[in-house]
Amino acid sequence: MNLDDRRDQLSRELLSVAYCDLNAVQRSVIDLIAAEAPTGLNKALVSDDRSFWDRLADRVAAVGGSWAFIGSFSGVLLCWVALNLVLRRWNLAFDPYPFIFLNLLLSTVAALQAPVIMMSQNRQAAKDRENAEHDYVVNLRAELEIMHLHSKLDALRDRDIGGMARANAEALARLEAQVAALSAKLDARG
């Protein structure tokens, strides 16, 4: 049996569909089962093909989404406000109340940080989708392999039960023949 016939047979046994009618993921699972090859790790999940800017965006998102950032940024804001309020007494405040320069800096940070964090989240979502697809392939393969093993066990059990029934019938026939022979001997003596 060639590989194409084996694939089609497996796909019909396990999924009740011809191999040519399967989607790409199902075909890859049937191919792995037919080749009896391990699933392995998804190469896209193992390799790090991010550019410098992608890694920088991920780092900014990691730092910007931490309690350490919130605490230190709050500390800087409080120091900025306190320093300007203290320096105001001597007319030396570099950003007097209502802190217009501080508002400009905060708006700039938010305007730059938000898209960087979104880029990082989009990249992570794509990686999560790839991971979910890989998990689906592994789970589908495990389920199909278990179904395949069940069918093999059922075939073995049916063969053994049939073989045992034949052996029992033959043993019963021998016993009946022996009983008939003994019965005939007893009748002849009697």
Joined tokens for residue 145:
């392999």
pLDDT at 1 over 90: no
User: Of 109, 107, 88, which Cα lies nearest the Cα of 97?
Assistant: 88
Angstrom distance (rounded) from CA 129 to CA 141: 18
User: 3-class SS at 190?
Assistant: coil
Give the CB-side neighbour count of residue 99, counting CA atoms within 13 A: 15
Under the banding of pLDDT at 50, 70 and 90, the label for residue 169 is confident
Mean of the per-residue pLDDT values of the chain = 86
pLDDT at 127 over 70: yes
Maximum CA pair distance of the chain?
A: 141
pLDDT at 95 over 90: yes
Angstrom distance (rounded) from CA 145 to CA 136: 14
Interval 107-115 mean pLDDT: 93
Interval 117-135 mean pLDDT: 91
The predicted structure's pLDDT at residue 164: 74
Under the banding of pLDDT at 50, 70 and 90, the label for residue 114 is very high
The predicted structure's pLDDT at residue 165: 73
User: Of 114, 118, 144, which Cα lies nearest the Cα of 28?
Assistant: 144
pLDDT at 190 over 70: no
46-83 confidence digits (pLDDT tens):
678 889 989 999 999 999 889 999 999 999 999 999 99
pLDDT at 3 over 70: yes
